[in-house]
Amino acid sequence: MQDGKNLIIAILLCLVVIVGWSYVSEYMGWVRKPDPAIVAQQQQAQQQAAQQQQAQQTAATAQQAMPVFTPAPGRDLTVNSPLYEAVFHTGGGALRSFKLKQYQTGLAVDSPLVNLVDPKTAAVAPLGLVVNSQPSWSTGQWSVEGNENGLNIGAGQQGVLRFDGEVDNLRVIREMTFSSDTYLIREKVRVVNTTDQARSVRVSYTVAADASNAAGDRYDAMRLAWDNDGSLGEESSPKTLETTGAQVAGKIYWAGTMSTYFLAAVLPGDTSNVTVKGRMQQNVFRAAVEEPEVMLGPGQERELTVSYWVGPKERAKLAAVSDQLAKSIDLGMFHVIAKGLLWLLEFFQKYVNNWGVAIILLTVLIKALFWPLTAKSYASMEKMKKLQPHMVAIREKHKDNKELMNKEVMALYKTYGVNPASGCVPILIQMPVFFGLYQALLTSIELRHAPFITYLPGTDIIWLADLSAKDPFYITPVVMGLTMFIQQKMSPPATDPTQQKIMMFLPLIFTAMFLSFPSGLVVYWLVNNILSIAQQRMMAKKFSTSAAK
């Protein structure tokens, strides 16, 4: 018993000694307190270890949430819609072919369909993604979810293709949506960082087109184009695109490759801080639209939205997507007038079912609207005719004194109440209408392969079978030049000999210019000249009758 008590007392004494010693040593400075910096480092190390463990758990959870990825051999999938037949390669979702069912390459009935992605274009993988500078079609591994036999999209329907892949150690899921009534392809891109490390991610979207999709002349050239904050920009120089390329950054609504009648463009979902890069390689125009770089932590993902337009430049369908995309049809500085004239042209075409006849009716309407102005111009010209003998006399009298000659000419004008500029003003007023109609006819895809007079009268020789192409026999531009010559003969000659020579050569100059013009434009100008001659004769007859009275 006594031994037990002694043991308890000994234990208590030991505790008193230990506790007391710690207090005494701390008080005396014998035992140092832990360094605060060392404690902070230890705490930071513990936090980093906890964060790393949490990141690993998050990444593991994300990996478990993602479907198991099983790469599959690449193969072709066909998407059939009422508007097009598109072939995609499952190894990244790039286009192999894109045939337009409503457009043919030639006038013959059995001409092939227009293919906006021919074999040369397919070789550069349009609609392929570039993730961190890694082309998805050559460096990634892919499989397709469902739709083993492709898609058949009926009228009023939609269809979806999903491509699942890994690019640059990132999980990438592409979901493309197709609609039966538009050439617009909408896409959601899901990029997931399934690693345990933070990753930077930059995604680019691509489109391409072979230069052969354009006629190659000055009226239909392939080019790189974009809309930067509402302003249309273009680069059509093959030399520039082959060497330095083109690059632009800003608020990009769309960018891509286009000809006068067809467009392949990317429409980024986020238009701010977008970069467009374009080049031409082996006659293929390529454009890449690059999103801003973002950082993804372990297990984080980013969802991007983007759309593609691959198809003809039909105004109504483009405008249904966005006003900016509709600007890919460049109607020039008089675009308001051009739009109105196009509306009238389509209105006439609905009733006559012939675009050439519609152009003639539109020309007649324009001529009728400007009748008072042209009548005033012709009245001034008739007055000038009467003054011609006096003008000749003054010129002969003062041929060595130009200043005095001009002074007497102006006095003559004032005496007879003639304004020499009055004949030019009506023409100047009509010029915006001409330029507006010029742009409207030049860019209207409705005139492509639209016939006017298909065969030369009395023969089976194809003639004006395509109003977007030049007259193959140059008949209409030559006749147009003759009508201009007749107009010159009916107008009073210029007082200055140099001006007379220039006016004499104008019909030849215009004829040479119009030889390569689309025949739809030549028809307009020719009909306008014929109506002008008829109006001029009527006015001359009216003035001669008035003079006789």
The pLDDT tens digits for 139-159 are 878 988 777 778 999 999 999
Among 276, 285, 75, 103, which residue's Cα sits nearest to residue 183? Answer: 103
Written as one letter, the residue type at 536 is Q
**What sign for the dihedral angle of Cα 483, 486, 490, 494?**
positive
| Whole-Å CA distances, 206 to 270, 411, 495 | 16, 69, 61
Adjacency order of strands within the sheet including 246-250: 134-135, 129-131, 203-210, 284-290, 274-281, 246-250
**What sign for the dihedral angle of Cα 537, 539, 541, 543?**
negative
Half-sphere exposure of 529 (CA within 13 A, CB side): 23
Among 222, 189, 227, which residue's Cα sits nearest to residue 208? Answer: 222
pTM passes above 0.85: no
Helix, strand, coil percent values for the chain (each to nearest 5): 45, 25, 30
Among 388, 374, 390, which residue's Cα sits nearest to residue 536? Answer: 374
Ordered per-residue pLDDT tens for the chain, 549 residues? 444 444 344 444 443 443 443 344 434 444 444 455 554 555 555 555 444 554 444 444 444 445 555 566 778 999 999 999 999 999 999 999 999 999 999 888 899 999 999 999 999 999 999 999 899 888 878 988 777 778 999 999 999 999 999 998 899 999 999 999 999 999 999 999 988 899 999 999 999 999 888 777 777 889 999 999 999 999 988 899 999 999 999 999 999 999 999 999 999 999 889 999 999 988 999 999 999 999 999 989 999 999 999 999 999 999 999 999 999 999 888 889 999 999 999 999 999 999 999 999 999 999 898 888 777 777 777 777 777 777 778 777 777 777 788 888 788 777 777 766 666 666 677 788 888 888 888 899 999 999 999 999 989 999 999 998 899 999 999 999 999 989 888 776 665 666 667 777 888 988 998 998 889 999 999 999 999 888 888 877 776 666 555
What pLDDT is recorded for position 5?
A: 42
Among 429, 461, 444, 424, which residue's Cα sits nearest to residue 524? Answer: 444
Quote the DSSP letter at residue 505: H
